[in-house]
Structure 1
Amino acid sequence: MRLLVLGGTEFVGRAVVAAGLERGWQVTVFHRGRHAPPPGVGVLHGDRTAENGLRALAGPGPAPWDAVVDTWSGAPSVVRDSARLLVGRTARYAYISSGSVYAYPAAPGRGEDRPVVDASPDDGPEVGYERAKRGGELAALDAFGDRALLVRAGLILGPWENVGRLPWWLGRAARGGEMLAPGPRDLGLQYIDVRDLAAWTLDALEAGRGGPYGLVSPPGHTTVEELLETLVRVTGSGAELRWADPDFLTGAGVEPWTQLPVWAPPGGDLYDTLHLSDVTKALEAGLRCRPFADTAAATWEWLCSLGGEAPQRPDRPRLGLTPEREAELLARLKGVPG
């Protein structure tokens, strides 16, 4: 297979490139040159937001790629222009979308049939993330029809993460000492390891799949307790988990998902939307999800190779509690029974 990855130097794109290379595919990345591409790939340069920025993708001759993977999360009009240009140069187009395209809140246990947000492939950079991703889907569909694969990823974790969720938790665990642990312990979590996302996407392209697929693990693939205990074990810090009831945390003004990444209190719209999706369609199409211990170990190994400091996307806020805020919460927690 001849694969073109639009991006390919960070997080999801890099995982897709790595998966393609592992299969012996001929992989080309198209990017702005801000980050070094993985070794072993062909390289094309261009800025998708600039006039004539797609010039390197155009050219005479037969279609040079069997499939394209696009991870863009900005203006849908950028996906529109790229897809229109590539419609005659590739057989299939995979757009890495997001579960955020579903209208909020989402009823628990629903799959790809959930209502989606209103958007347009002509939208510019002023729209929010959920409309940007839905507009990107529409752009891919307009150009490729049933040859467009829409990968609606849930929470993505794993090596190369530049959003700051699992890296923050790993960094916190590595510091040791008393560590705030959001309960309940058995709270089930859904996520997708970026390497499993990449492998499934390439499998789906090979199989000629199209249309939307929600891509995240089954509900309860791991729990908060397993996640945190695994991070303590992987980092070897000996951190002591101090469990806090959800009511204590929300009453203290802790922001789920942002100040405590991955976590949301059970029974609310946020938790139902993030961690109770039906993924039957993806599982029937071959999705396999590795154990969390594998995800944690690989991410920690990668972080250590960088000296412990993960890259951070400039368009995303830094996540997690500050040490001072955590210390304040731990002090308040000492007076709470249980």
Structure 2
Amino acid sequence: MRLLVLGGTEFVGRAVVEEGVARGWDVTVFNRGTRGAVEGVETLRGDRTAPGGLDALRTGEWDVVLDTWSWAPVAVRDAAELLATRAASYVYVSSRSVYEYAIPVGADESAPVVEGSADDDQYHDRAKDYARVKAGGELAAVRAFGDRALLARAGLILGPYENIGRLPWWLNRVARGGEVLAPGPAELKLQFIDARDLAAWSLDAAARQVGGAFNLTGPIGHTTTRELLETLVRVTGADARLRWVDPDPILAAGVQPWQDLPVWVPPGDLYEFLHRTNVDKALGEGLTCRPVEETVADTWAWLRSVGGEAPQRADRAPVGLDPKVEAALLSGAA
């Protein structure tokens, strides 16, 4: 199989490239060349936001193209239109953020999606624009590839090479040891997908010419807050003691769920949206998810290999709880 990854050097894109190489596929990456490439791939250079930036893609044929673009949809439009007659399948890594908030619990991929446009050339503010541009990217992929477009509406993504900082922050915090604020409820069910499982499923499905939209995250209850945090302690081997604190005092202290305490949101509409996703369709197409311990252990091994400092996406604010706020909450919970 011939695989073209638009990007291919960071997080999900890198996981896809490594999966393709491991399968023995012929892998090509297209990017600006600002970061190190994976060994064993062909590299094409270009800036898809610049005039003539796609020139390196004007020749060549591929079985699968995978695109993780998260900015103005016109970049997806232009790439997909250029490749439509020379590629069999186009995988666009989208997001569950495209759904109108809040969708009913249990809603599937037919739930309403926010308004977007394939011809949108603007991206100003991630907090306001992310859902819109991902929706526009989906429309661009479908416009060019029709039912050959596979829309991977990912939920929370974790794993090695993470450049958002969620799991790396927790790993580093637990590794420092001492009392660690553990946000309750402890048995709250969580959903996430390891980037490597997302990559494997996407390539499998595209190779079978599967198209359409799929919610792509782990099954409901793939893990719990307790299991995740206890796994962090076990994997790091740290002298860390989890102190469970109810949501009310955490919220009263001004702590922002998801941002200040990554992964965690208290019970409510946002929790239902993020951690109670219907993934029946993807499971029916063969999605499998590795145990949480494997994701945590492999991410910890990678994080140590880069000196404990994970790369940070320029369009995302760093995550994590202010140590002074954590200390104050732990003191109040004594």
SS in 1 for 2:79: helix
For residues 57 and 315 of structure 1, the distance between their equivalents in structure 2, rounded to whole angstroms, comes to 26
Cross-structure match for 1:92: 89
Matched, 1:193 2:194: yes
**Structure 1 residue ranges without an equivalent (≥5):** none
Is the contact made by 1:106 and 1:269 (CA closer than 8 Å) also made in structure 2? Answer: no
Identity %: 62
Matched, 1:280 2:280: yes
Cross-structure match for 2:118: 121
Encode CA deviations 1:71-101: one digit per residue, 9 max, x unaligned. 0000001100000111112111000000000
User: Which of 23, 48, 65 is 2:62 aligned to?
Assistant: 65
Is the contact made by 2:63 and 2:207 (CA closer than 8 Å) also made in structure 1? Answer: no
Q: Offset of 1:126 from its aligned partner?
A: 2.8
Q: Offset of 1:326 from its aligned partner?
A: 1.1
Cross-structure match for 1:269: 269
216-225 vs 126-135, greater mean Cα deviation: 126-135
Q: Offset of 1:322 from its aligned partner?
A: 1.7
Is the contact made by 1:230 and 1:293 (CA closer than 8 Å) also made in structure 2? Answer: yes
Is the contact made by 1:49 and 1:78 (CA closer than 8 Å) also made in structure 2? Answer: yes
Structure 1 stretches of 4+ with a deviation exceeding 2 A read none
Q: Offset of 1:333 from its aligned partner?
A: 1.8
Q: Offset of 1:111 from its aligned partner?
A: 1.4
The correspondence of residues 150-299 of structure 1 with structure 2, limited to 5 A, is 150-266=151-267, 268-299=268-299
SS in 1 for 2:122: coil
Matched AA of 2:102: P
Q: Offset of 1:125 from its aligned partner?
A: 2.7
Q: Offset of 1:67 from its aligned partner?
A: 1.1
User: Which of 80, 83, 98 is 1:83 aligned to?
Assistant: 80
Is the contact made by 2:249 and 2:329 (CA closer than 8 Å) also made in structure 1? Answer: no
SS in 1 for 2:120: coil
Encode CA deviations 1:263-287: one digit per residue, 9 max, x unaligned. 0101x11101000111000000000
Encode CA deviations 1:155-184: one digit per residue, 9 max, x unaligned. 000000000100000010100000000001
Matched AA of 1:57: L
Q: Offset of 1:197 from its aligned partner?
A: 0.2
Cross-structure match for 2:103: 106
For residues 114 and 239 of structure 1, the distance between their equivalents in structure 2, rounded to whole angstroms, comes to 42
Count of residue pairs brought into register by the alignment: 330
SS in 2 for 1:287: coil
Q: Offset of 1:323 from its aligned partner?
A: 1.5
For residues 250 and 25 of structure 1, the distance between their equivalents in structure 2, rounded to whole angstroms, comes to 48
Cross-structure match for 1:307: 307
For residues 131 and 92 of structure 1, the distance between their equivalents in structure 2, rounded to whole angstroms, comes to 23
Matched, 1:146 2:161: no
Is the contact made by 1:214 and 1:281 (CA closer than 8 Å) also made in structure 2? Answer: yes
Is the contact made by 1:186 and 1:225 (CA closer than 8 Å) also made in structure 2? Answer: yes
For residues 132 and 31 of structure 1, the distance between their equivalents in structure 2, rounded to whole angstroms, comes to 20
Q: Offset of 1:124 from its aligned partner?
A: 1.8
Cross-structure match for 1:14: 14
Matched AA of 1:85: L
Matched AA of 1:145: G
For residues 209 and 56 of structure 2, the distance between their equivalents in structure 1, rounded to whole angstroms, comes to 26
Is the contact made by 1:101 and 1:117 (CA closer than 8 Å) also made in structure 2? Answer: yes
For residues 327 and 269 of structure 2, the distance between their equivalents in structure 1, rounded to whole angstroms, comes to 28
**Structure 2 residue ranges without an equivalent (≥5):** none
